[in-house]
Chains A and B, each alone.
Chain A
Amino acid sequence: MIVQQIGQVVVKATQFINPTQVEITKNGIRNDRLFALVEATDKFVGSSEHSEFIPLKFSMEYGSSDLTLELPDGRIIKEPTNCNTQTFGVEHAGLRTIEVAEIGGPWTEILTEYSGRPIRLVKCLSPGGAIDVFPLTFATTGSLRRLEREVGEPINPARLRAGLIIANEIEHEEDNWAEKNLAIGSVIIKVRTGVPRCQVVGFNPKEANVIRTL
């Protein structure tokens, strides 16, 4: 299998980025959803609020603990990600509890100023970070083409927020791949279940305007 595009989001609920090379570990793409945004209620920013934070572009170089944020106004902030020693659990969509620790430094002030309400940046300490269920998600080029036909316009794959876009032109063939192993270079993945429909697909992956029909 050939990967056409890689996708990653270092801070869950923010802008999807497309690195050209990633390390795949048992817990998924290294640094993927390693951080998350937490409300004053100690809950993650919900799916319906993703569009608010999608304009925020976070990145993190391998081997570095510094996080870089590009804000819509052009400011670029690069700061270390030192965790507080106190941790707490965040219940995630009824699926599991994720242990997190708040990141010190200017992040809370920046995110709170941006959103107009208290928002904290946390590091997800549980294996897999803030993934929903399984470590990896993928989509195929054939299924994207089908989706474009249905919608009637080009679809940015970032809408799907899938880790890998695999080159395979047979639309939705992957629906029949459950339990099969796929080799992607030296990496082997085992296909599980389809990802349920999610409202985040409707958000423009950069400007976050909404296509509700998706």
Chain B
Amino acid sequence: MSTTTTKTAFWRGIRDSAPFTLVAGPFALLFGVLATEAGLNLFEVMTFSLAVIAGAAQFTALQLMQENAPTVVVIISALAVNLRVAMYSAALTPYLGRAPMWQRVFAAYLLVDQSYALSHQKFEAEPAMTVPERMAYYMGTCMLVMTVWYGASLAGALIGSALPPQIPIDFALPIAFLAMVAPAMRTLPHVIAAFTAVVVSLFAAAVPWSLGLIIAGGAGMIAGAQAELWMERRA
């Protein structure tokens, strides 16, 4: 490899990721606003966003902490929502697994929906890319999105303390969650998983320590997996 091609790959990553800032930006902004409304100070909001970099997991933790759920339930639920990054990690390993350890540590920290989706697609389409070129492209896809992520979190935290109290901001979280889930209803098993979780959560709402969430989520996952098996057997 030459320096020019890795540089080109890096800039291509930046360019390809530009549209995704339109998705990451508003989520980080909303997190900043809602976390501030929930009583977190600027330092806490920014540490949260820097340490976790996962919209859905951060919103989950925020919602459950406001409901005074037990800390263990908060952590388990938020990590469960974020389990998909482990799958991303598995999917990228064949392409980036031979890079030096320090690069893989950075790559892991920056692994989000956008960097995974763009890179995996790219690496599959261009099998001739070298490992350093792939890593450069990957880092490119992260750079702009992360800058926007941090900046928008900060902007949200600053705006949050200035919002008028009439705005029904408490309902922004449920709407944001629904907006994240609705486009993911790609297949029948996805719909069955979600539907099962909805029904069970209504019956399990009274279960103490917010365990209804774990029960309903678990039931949804099992229903989705079983539906998938059933469809495979029929096909």
Are A and B physically bound partners? Answer: no
